Structure 1
């Protein structure tokens, strides 16, 4: 991995090639479950090179974690027998029950790296699981194959290439949409079984090369600035800092992290630096050894700030929201966040594949654990089915109660008065 970073992403089920690239780092590529990444130490720049640890290095395994030495042995034995080391190691990870660990072959890991740069090959669907457990479209890549075919946020995905997706992790559904090493090229077809309002149909899409825009900035009618961060791909943190620096003096900021599945934690720390004058952002442990992440000094600490969160706010996005909440820098509005706070460390296996295994968890500045718990917003607000929670790319409207509540809170902090 080219960045000095740990990675956290959901473990795909049952498939263990690069195809699985459950980049749930997913938002980045088109899923609702997404990756996070932690630097090796406070202040480590995102571009600093960090070699992958050799297999077996510090292979201590704690409860619920996978022993890297065992993975190395399994992968080496499979490769010696002419089989896939990544597939064999993936089965070991699958038996562990750790859904955040994953094994990638070399091609798959290269695709993951590419997605962290905001580019991927797919159909332009970001998926999520609704409250009833069904997989549905969370948002669409503007101009992507799925949007051109008429799909909408909220459409239920029932099958991919004729195979039902009921019961599958969202990451696995995303992997099927992206295709495996043989059919993931632009122009290759993928058939979706879709349902909307009780009506089902089948549509065939052709994958395309897509580039995401992780940060969008909008000046609202009341003078506030809305900064929406869809994922923390490379450069997202600086984009947030630039948006804050160029915002009109005194203008309040709505930082919309809804549906943000994470990304590089180095970028989330950079985003935190836009609003903090240095200080602690989070702590995390690697095999029991605690380390810390700090914001850079010089952030705008006086501007009114409200952070919008929901059940799709995950990993690196939760780290940022938790830091702003604990440091008293922002009021959080919306719903409880997802609760993804585990840390994965990549290790190179003998056959060249890469295993990313859980090694610890991060905590907010106040010491709160996020994993399995999520963050409770300061002000609860429930979205409507047609609001931005259903379509994160939709502009804010008065019909969205979360947006409306957030703007009222921002006004109370000294920001502009919300429109009547």
Structure 2
């Protein structure tokens, strides 16, 4: 392909680019683009193309060069925009559906470094102790210094049963650590729930998938089957986000009116507003939302909406700060684009981008330990061989173990109990 041919193709390529493309979730409207192209820059692009073709140490075909150019155009915009070949496009679809082969880790680029956003629950990554904000230095024998985000993801994914070595550096540690993980077929269970104590429920959302909203409603209904809930802990820690509409549906489960989130961008239909409906399953249940540095994107939408609407107390540590919206645009050749098209804002107009959600009550990660000389008295339930009081006793013990292991969860449960005491006290005094 000659340099003159490339120059002659540039206006045609830009004309094609103005044709609206089909979107996964919504239709893109055209925006006004200047007709005058920077001719000098176009000539430079053509010259670079020609010199690579003629002088690079190995022969490179035209298709590879053009795809690399497109990857570069998108990769330099922001950490979340990317050109996806057919295989990468399919991988993205699989992760949205909640099943893929790998180690169960969500990553992003931060200050040019491959950084863990969060490990996914019950996966090799979480079981190996990988944490949010860990920096990944190597994947097997490949340094991550010059890898794109998508290339790194592809290296970590693979067939179940295969091992992969991950070298990480954790903030506060002097030397990196290398972990060997065995890939599994990752089936992400988006929603889990249980009763912590009588009247107090626990709802865990690990990721926002297509059916998360309906699963949350089913979980709340299930927990309310025997008795009304006196309080609920919504756990969004280490939740990397996911489908925007699912986040709206989850917030709507706790709100019966008002704005949930709005988005703003250059496209006309990027400016959207999402409001709560009056049909909700848990409009009045006292609510504590747990977040941390691994809570991102859709998780921050939910936390921000419930915080701004004064519907919940947000507890934990500052969230990740991903406040941008990506659209997935299929291309005619089977490839696709993931393009940042808007920013989202909480009901009070806060942009979460690079800032995150600040909790109402800061509680850092920890473990509750009882000192030997604490003066706690021995109880019947502590005696070896004591009679068990049916399900109530076993549930109480399980709840106690959970809250001792998870200090933030224990504090959330204590806060819910305190809120109920304050709620009942005026009526009792009267």
TM-score w.r.t. the length of structure 2 is: 0.67
| Match of residue 398 from structure 2 | none
| Match of residue 300 from structure 2 | 318
2:342 to 343, 355, 360: 360
Instruction: Report SS of the residue matched to 1:396.
Output: helix
| Match of residue 330 from structure 1 | 312
Displacement after TM superposition at 1:314 (Å) = 0.7
| Match of residue 408 from structure 1 | 414
- List per-residue Cα deviations over 1:287-346 (Å, max 9, x = no partner): 164321122322121111111111111111111111111111111111111111112233
| Match of residue 228 from structure 1 | 204
Displacement after TM superposition at 1:49 (Å) = 6.8
* 1:58 paired to 2:37: no
| Match of residue 190 from structure 1 | 164
1:158-307 alignment, distance < 5 Å: 158-165=137-144, 173-178=152-157, 184-193=158-167, 205-248=181-224, 249-287=228-266, 289=268, 290-299=271-280, 300-307=282-289
| Match of residue 403 from structure 2 | 397
Q: Structure 1 residues 317, 61: closer, same or farther in 2, change over 3 A? A: farther
| Match of residue 113 from structure 1 | 93
- Cα distance in 2 for residues equivalent to 1:247 and 1:277: 20
- Cα distance in 2 for residues equivalent to 1:386 and 1:165: 37
- List per-residue Cα deviations over 1:359-383 (Å, max 9, x = no partner): 2211111111111221111111111
Structure exhibiting the larger radius of gyration computed from Cα positions: 2
Q: Is the 8 Å Cα contact of residues 140 and 152 (structure 1) preserved in structure 2?
A: no
Q: Is the 8 Å Cα contact of residues 125 and 141 (structure 1) preserved in structure 2?
A: no
- List per-residue Cα deviations over 1:9-52 (Å, max 9, x = no partner): xxxxxxxxxxxxxxxxxxxxxxxxxxxxxxx9xxxxxxx97576
| Match of residue 7 from structure 1 | none
Q: Structure 1 residues 351, 89: closer, same or farther in 2, change over 3 A? A: farther
Instruction: Report SS of the residue matched to 2:76.
Output: helix
- Cα distance in 2 for residues equivalent to 1:167 and 1:305: 44
- Cα distance in 1 for residues equivalent to 2:178 and 2:358: 39
Q: Structure 1 residues 215, 342: closer, same or farther in 2, change over 3 A? A: same
Q: Is the 8 Å Cα contact of residues 383 and 402 (structure 1) preserved in structure 2?
A: yes
Instruction: Report SS of the residue matched to 1:413.
Output: helix
Instruction: Report SS of the residue matched to 1:239.
Output: helix
- Cα distance in 1 for residues equivalent to 2:302 and 2:33: 28
Q: Is the 8 Å Cα contact of residues 236 and 291 (structure 2) preserved in structure 1?
A: yes
Q: Which runs of 5+ in 1 are unaligned?
A: 1-39, 41-47, 63-69, 179-183, 388-394
- Cα distance in 1 for residues equivalent to 2:246 and 2:93: 15
Q: Structure 1 residues 271, 86: closer, same or farther in 2, change over 3 A? A: farther
1:133-172 alignment, distance < 5 Å: 139=119, 142=122, 151-154=128-131, 158-165=137-144
| Match of residue 389 from structure 2 | none
- Cα distance in 2 for residues equivalent to 1:176 and 1:189: 11
Higher mean displacement: 166-175 or 99-108: 166-175
Q: Structure 1 residues 411, 99: closer, same or farther in 2, change over 3 A? A: same
Displacement after TM superposition at 1:125 (Å) = 4.2
- List per-residue Cα deviations over 1:171-227 (Å, max 9, x = no partner): 76444311xxxxx34455533346898897766555332211111102103531010
Q: Structure 1 residues 361, 302: closer, same or farther in 2, change over 3 A? A: same
Q: Structure 1 residues 265, 351: closer, same or farther in 2, change over 3 A? A: same
Q: Is the 8 Å Cα contact of residues 25 and 327 (structure 2) preserved in structure 1?
A: no
- Cα distance in 2 for residues equivalent to 1:169 and 1:403: 36
Q: Structure 1 residues 376, 203: closer, same or farther in 2, change over 3 A? A: closer
CA RMSD of aligned residues (A): 4.1
Q: Which runs of 5+ in 2 are unaligned?
A: 1-21, 35-41, 54-59, 370-400, 424-430
Displacement after TM superposition at 1:400 (Å) = 3.7
TM-score w.r.t. the length of structure 1 is: 0.68
Q: Is the 8 Å Cα contact of residues 121 and 206 (structure 2) preserved in structure 1?
A: no
Which protein has greater RCO, CA pairs closer than 8 Å, 6+ apart? Answer: 1
Q: Is the 8 Å Cα contact of residues 224 and 416 (structure 1) preserved in structure 2?
A: no
